[in-house]
Structure 1
Amino acid sequence: MIALLLSRVEAGGLERVQFNLARGLVDRGHSVRIVAGRLEGAAPCVDEVHFIAPSGAWQFLWRLLGWIRRNRPAVIVTTSNDVAVWVLLWRRWLYADAEVIVTQHLAISGPRLAARGVRWVKLACIRWAMARLLPSADAIVAVSAAVAADMRAELGLDGISIDVIHNPIVAVADAAAPDLPCPEAWPFPRDGVPVLVFVGRLAPEKRLDLLFAAFMQVRATLPVRLLVLGAGPIAAQLEQWRQDAGVGIDCRLMGQMQDVLPWIANSDILVLPSDYEGFGNVLVEAMQCATQIVATDCPSGPAEILDHGRFGQLVAVGDAAALAVALRRSLDGSFRVERDALLARSAEFSIDRAVDAYERVFTAKEERVPPSFQR
């Protein structure tokens, strides 16, 4: 059995990636179990998850040990840093025969540098433990080359192999994404006014303040509308900005959507103004939909996904004016990536390709038994 571990399940990109990976592995004949602590909010596909800790994180850490001892998975894949530390700390005594694969989905440096107070102390402690325990993993996987480089710099992993496996996003069934019909809940008139769309968690690091400022700058000279899909801690603040600016129907906050592809496919530009990302799944989803892209050149995924600006515009982090200029260039057609090029690029992030890479990692255990655990 292959166990994919999630500390919690919510309607986010990490969850979609794990569901895609699990289904791809099952299609290849593997036995797979997604094991998670608790469910937060509404999330799709929860019937595919084995929940073990509805009370929270500490309950999950203790109950996970018992679950592993009872079920004896051959492969354990971690997705969060604190869980990776816990699994590696106890593996020698409790489940030494299991293959432990640590996957890194977010740059370590971004959240650490942005944190303050107790959260900074927590992240610093986890970073210290990771530097000492990750070399004992059977394999380390980073979702982008930039995340791998960040891991080496943050954890001192020079000489330790890190496999780069891009997130599994595109399935064969998604090939018709550019032609998806307009959602029934579409809030705007179909009058030819271009639509900017943001899809993601409404959190400070996503820099919705920059997006809103750039939208207002563009709106001063061009007709344009803004569509925001997602939920998070700054949702109320964003709604207040919308009301204060008096943009009315030209800016709509639609909340969390389980299937974002029809919304992206019927928008003109996908905007990702983050301070940092681990990968940027929504960029691949936009390319699936042949939708133009403007993103900040932030750590760690956008430049890699967009091939340093070939498949979408990259602008400086934190610069609303530069973001507005890039949006105008896409709107007036002075920068445009052709449909076929976007679709071909999105296919490089297929589920099949990711599963191929993970299978190679799983079967390479005999060739790299960590020295500290050789028997």
Structure 2
Amino acid sequence: MSKPNLTIVNADLEIDGVSRAFVNLATEFDARGYGVELVLTRATGDLLAAVPDSVRIVELERAGVPGPEMVSYAPSLTRHLRTVQPDAVLAAQAHTNPLTAVATRVAGIDARTVVCIQTMTSHQLAQRDRHHRTWTRLTRHCYRLADTVIAVSEEVKRDAAASLGIPTDSISVVHQPTVTPSLLEQSREPIDHPWFGDGSPPVVLGVGRLDPQKNFRSLITALERVRETEDARLVILGEGEMRPTLERHVDRLGLEDVVSMPGTIPNPYPYMRQASVFALPSRTEAVPLALIEALACECPVVSTRCSSGPVEVLENGTYGELVPVDEPSALAKAIVSTLQAPPPKSLLRERSREFSVTTIADEYEHVLFPEQRHRQAAKTA
């Protein structure tokens, strides 16, 4: 008997945590023999190259209808689902979740619909300004159309339940499928950067969008204090609107010779493998995938105790130091402490295994295809 078909709906495949995680999941389900397709509102992004040839890419057509941008893709997605008749449909973004839940219901197909909440819903709804109440009612209704709602962390689950009026016990927690064999293999590739090599001063690494939420200004300030006792350098991988502001801050502190911001790097994992410390200075994070990836690459980590992911990932400091948000002195102290006494690499590997794509795909398989899992269990009984 052939395995079921899975449709994953996403906006695009630009390099970000959500897209990377669901390319990982699509690849794993494809390897397990499921029929997998990625349905995108825009078939763009560097992660397209990471999708196996056997996973179909579908780009939706945009209709000229009034309302939010995502609404304009509803007719195309509805037609596609009605034609393809998948056994399960999965979405994982704040704007594609309502679209997918509605389109699947309107298509009238017998598909299990699963939506995954990746970020703090309260933050998303707060950004809707004067349309807040209308959007909240619409979003709440759309989530109730789904068969299953997943959250990527316990805090995201509690926040979603409170914001949307959904019973907490109706939301399951499944972490992001982050650690893959490909990640570990890529982490051993060479680095084209002069600061990495035997005998070089220690490098503190930051990875993420250059935006206010990621708070790299605080990390740059912390480096100045780290250098009072350690000859450390800072590399920040990522791009964004805060680059000019951050560059000016580097210049003001006189750190231009010890701070490097080379932009977005398609393969950041060798940097994680060879850095002395990975630092996450964010103001908020649902589940910080880069933090998990650093653990998998055996890089010691420090993080802010922001809402909400780092505390869960690091188990309240068991796997890396946690410091208050927007306190560069505390961040600097944690970096120095970690440089001087890094944790065992085996401890970091142990934690990262909880986020392996194999482990997480098993959990998704149970949610998406419960009958398939029951049949497998019966065969092995």
TM bin (shorter chain): 0.7 to 0.9
- For 1:123 and 1:24, locate their aligned partners in 2 and report how far apart those are by CA, in whole Å: 37
Q: Report which stretch shifted further, 66-75 or 303-312.
A: 66-75
| Pair 54,222 (structure 1): closer, same or farther in 2 beyond 3 Å | farther
| Pair 123,288 (structure 1): closer, same or farther in 2 beyond 3 Å | farther
Counterpart of 2:261?
253
Q: Does 1:87 align with 2:100?
A: yes
2:94 alignment partner AA: N
Q: Does 1:74 align with 2:80?
A: no
| Pair 58,111 (structure 1): closer, same or farther in 2 beyond 3 Å | closer
Shift in Å at residue 316 of structure 1? 1.1
Counterpart of 2:24?
20
Counterpart of 2:153?
144
| Pair 252,44 (structure 1): closer, same or farther in 2 beyond 3 Å | farther
- For 2:189 and 2:87, locate their aligned partners in 1 and report how far apart those are by CA, in whole Å: 43
1:301-349 C-alpha deviation (Å, 9 max, x unpaired): 111111110001111122222111211211222xx32101111111111
Shift in Å at residue 53 of structure 1? 4.5
Q: Report which stretch shifted further, 16-25 or 101-110.
A: 101-110
Q: Is the 8 A contact 1:187 1:252 kept in 2?
A: no
1:205 alignment partner AA: Q
Q: Find 1:344's aligned residue among 323, 341, 350.
A: 350
Q: How many residues align?
A: 359
Q: Is the 8 A contact 1:7 1:57 kept in 2?
A: no
| Pair 308,125 (structure 1): closer, same or farther in 2 beyond 3 Å | farther
Find the residue that maps to 1:8 and give its secondary structure.
Answer: coil
- For 2:169 and 2:212, locate their aligned partners in 1 and report how far apart those are by CA, in whole Å: 33
Q: Is the 8 A contact 1:227 1:251 kept in 2?
A: yes
2:37 alignment partner AA: R
Counterpart of 2:66?
none
Q: Report which stretch shifted further, 238-247 or 23-32.
A: 238-247
- For 2:284 and 2:199, locate their aligned partners in 1 and report how far apart those are by CA, in whole Å: 35
Shift in Å at residue 274 of structure 1? 0.9
* RMSD across aligned positions (CA): 2.5
Q: Does 1:34 align with 2:42?
A: no
Counterpart of 2:376?
none
Shift in Å at residue 132 of structure 1? 2.7
| Pair 61,184 (structure 1): closer, same or farther in 2 beyond 3 Å | same
Shift in Å at residue 364 of structure 1? 3.5
- For 2:173 and 2:273, locate their aligned partners in 1 and report how far apart those are by CA, in whole Å: 29
User: Tell me, which stretches of 5 or more residues in structure 2 are unaligned?
Assistant: 64-68, 373-381
Q: Is the 8 A contact 2:12 2:45 kept in 1?
A: no
Which structure has more RCO (C-alpha within 8 Å, separation ≥ 6)?
1
User: Tell me, which stretches of 5 or more residues in structure 1 are unaligned?
Assistant: 367-375
1:259 alignment partner AA: N
Shift in Å at residue 260 of structure 1? 1.1
2:293 alignment partner AA: E
TM-score w.r.t. the length of structure 2 is 0.86
Q: Does 1:229 align with 2:233?
A: no
- For 2:106 and 2:182, locate their aligned partners in 1 and report how far apart those are by CA, in whole Å: 44
Aligned residue runs from structure 1 range 211-222, under 5 A = 211-222=219-230
- For 2:343 and 2:291, locate their aligned partners in 1 and report how far apart those are by CA, in whole Å: 13
Q: Is the 8 A contact 1:7 1:60 kept in 2?
A: no
| Pair 52,135 (structure 1): closer, same or farther in 2 beyond 3 Å | closer
Find the residue that maps to 1:323 and give its secondary structure.
Answer: helix
Counterpart of 2:77?
64
- For 2:184 and 2:103, locate their aligned partners in 1 and report how far apart those are by CA, in whole Å: 43
